[in-house]
Chain A
Amino acid sequence: MAPVLRTEGLTVRFGGLTALDSVDFEIRRGEIRAIIGPNGAGKSTFFNCLTGVLRPTAGRILFNGENIAGLPSNLISQKGIARSYQITNILPNATTLENVRIAAQSRRHSWSMLRHHSAYLDIIEKAEAVLEAVGLRAKADELAANLSHGEQRNLEIGIALATEPELLCLDEPTAGMSAAETHDTMELVRRIAKDLTILIVEHDMQVVMALAQRITVLHYGDVLAEGTPAEIQRNPRVLEVYLKT
């Protein structure tokens, strides 16, 4: 099957520093792929390129065969790539439901000016369905700022999901979570993975090994290795630079 996303020679340089060095990468539709690597390996830079935050210095990013490198993030979102953030990035003064609703609304009715937002039942239904999926239905009317850290992380995923993506990029979704919360979030990722492709950056190796079907190891902006969790765990080069330390 054709890959949903492919990068060809993706390169990002910040002055003299090469953050990504000609990365060739491919992810199949429906896959859960993890990207791991030591700090500074280029994981975040890679995400930032995919989601339009950074313009790559060179190379192409093909999403469903179309080059999206250098497009602004709103257009990339409209094409079907969504992202959750490493540092929680929500609307703190809005309720949980409002956070998700504004994301759901980005696909329809967003220019409507003359009717009350609550009249658009399709948006509210979509938002409620997303809250149900991420387990925040009971907190719908709570201010996002008052949610626990774990709940805010799941709201992050909810906001991304509400934009109806084909590819979801999760940036350390379980960072700072308790063991129980981590477990719940892993279940959540598995559930939503049925309908979309997931790319996940994560430091927690247990999460990575349990969730990912394939793993890509980045090291100094280069792809060091790629394979199933079992292959990666046995790979001597990966052990040397990353897993041992």
Chain B
Amino acid sequence: MNKRSTTIYWTGFSVILALLIVAPLVLSEFWSRFLTEILIWGLLAMSSDILIGYTGMVSFGHSAFFGLGMYGAAAALLMVRPPNLWLAIVYGLIGSAGIALFVAYFSTRLRDIYFAITTLIFSQIFYVIIFTWTDLTGGENGLTFSRPALGIPGLFSVPFSSETLHWFVLAVVTASYLILRRITQSPFGMVLQSIRENEGRTRAIGYAVERYKIVAVMLSGLFAGLAGVLYAIQNRFAAPDFVYFLVSGETVIFNVMGGIGTLVGPIVGAAFFLLLRETFSRFFTEFYLIPVGAIFIAMVIFMPQGLLGFMRRWLNQ
């Protein structure tokens, strides 16, 4: 990146960040909450982009990582007294990383559609386990818990308001974005992109491709789990619906709509999709999926690079 585009990038970044910081003070309670939720789904989408966009592996199992993050947070919030925010994050990350390692170990031996199907099947296995193991997970009803306070033990502790929750989520998502962006630009990130471009050649120049894929899936799962933790804290419940493959499918749709391989694109895609759903479900009630589906198909045909790719080309003209 040259100096000028670096300046433009950081200016844009600061402006958007500033808008997102101010947003809860300006928006109504409903839209403010909606924006927080967009950020959380955006983080999930972004985590999946590491695989789809950068390594060339389409995961249909991100609901499992998201869900394990949720249930991990639930475990911490229900078992440890008083409920601790940071412990919820740690439990969620351990849960999702553990599952990600398990899934990665088996699924990275396969490629393309076989990888996608394997991740899908694994996530459905976890769904069934969570759905049926009622004693531990609450089964169909899931688990409810109270929201932990925002604070640092021994220093301060304040209950979350909707503004502070938004800012907390924004801070976590922004930090995750910066970390993921740095990873994609690091030597390790270069290897992932090389695997995407030409797996055989990447192996031939000395890379143990499978190991890089396992680490990529784990990283991706870790950030998906973080999104799950945030969602659990926002909504004060963990439910099996969020481990169901529909969530994985939506994650892929966010990526395709926004533009894969860009990290920002998936967040844009999540925002766009959720806004569409919100708008259409007001007019079409439960039939909202019909117009949303039609728009998605049109987008895939007319802007295969997603919203971000489309905007980029439009700006360059």
Contact = CB atoms under 8 A, between A and B. Distances in A.
Contacts of A111: 187-188
Contacts of B190: 98, 101-102, 105, 117
Interface stretch (A83-91, A196-204, A214-222): A83-91
A116 interface: yes
Interface string A69-102: 0001111011000110100011111100010011
Nearest to B204: A73
- Tell me which of B188, B205, B209 has the highest count of chain A C-beta atoms within 10 A of its own C-beta: B205
A244 interface: no
Given A72-B203, A74-B208, A112 B198 contact: no
Contacts of A107: 206
Interface string A135-177: 0000000000000000000000001101100000000000000
Given A74-B208, A109-B187, A115-B186, A89 B203 contact: no
Contacts of B203: 72-74, 77
Nearest to A82: B205
Given A91-B194, A92-B197, A74 B183 contact: no
B46 to A, nearest CB: 16
B191 interface: yes
Contacts of A92: 197
B7 interface: no
Contacts of A106: 205-207
Interface in B189-226: 189-191, 193-194, 197-198, 200-209
Leading 5 A-B pairs by shortest Cβ distance: A77-B206, A106-B206, A91-B197, A103-B205, A113-B188
B182 interface: yes
7 contacts: A72-B208, A90-B201, A92-B197, A105-B187, A113-B186, A115-B187, A159-B201
Contacts of A123: 187
Contacts of A179: none
Contacts of B206: 74, 77-78, 103, 106-107, 163
A162 B203 CA distance: 14
B285 interface: no
Contacts of B201: 85, 89-91, 159
Nearest to B191: A110
Interface string A190-229: 0000000000000000000000000000000000000000
A103 to B, nearest CB: 5
Interface in B152-188: 182-183, 185-188
A120 B187 contact: yes
A159 B202 CA distance: 11
A50 to B, nearest CB: 12
- Tell me which of B188, B198, B203, B204 has the highest count of chain A C-beta atoms within 10 A of its own C-beta: B204
Given A72-B208, A123-B187, 20 more contacts: A51-B204, A73-B203, A77-B203, A82-B205, A89-B200, A90-B198, A90-B201, A91-B197, A94-B197, A102-B190, A105-B187, A106-B205, A110-B191, A112-B186, A112-B188, A114-B186, A116-B185, A117-B187, A160-B205, A162-B205
Contacts of B194: 91, 94, 102
- Tell me which of A74, A75, A94, A101 has the highest count of chain B C-beta atoms within 10 A of its own C-beta: A74
Contact of B204 (A74, A114, A115, A116): A74
Given A72-B203, A105-B190, A163-B206, A114 B183 contact: yes
A123 B188 CA distance: 13
A120 B204 CA distance: 22
A189 to B, nearest CB: 19
A1 B93 CA distance: 56
A153 to B, nearest CB: 15
B197 A74 contact: no
A110 B215 CA distance: 13
Nearest to A102: B194
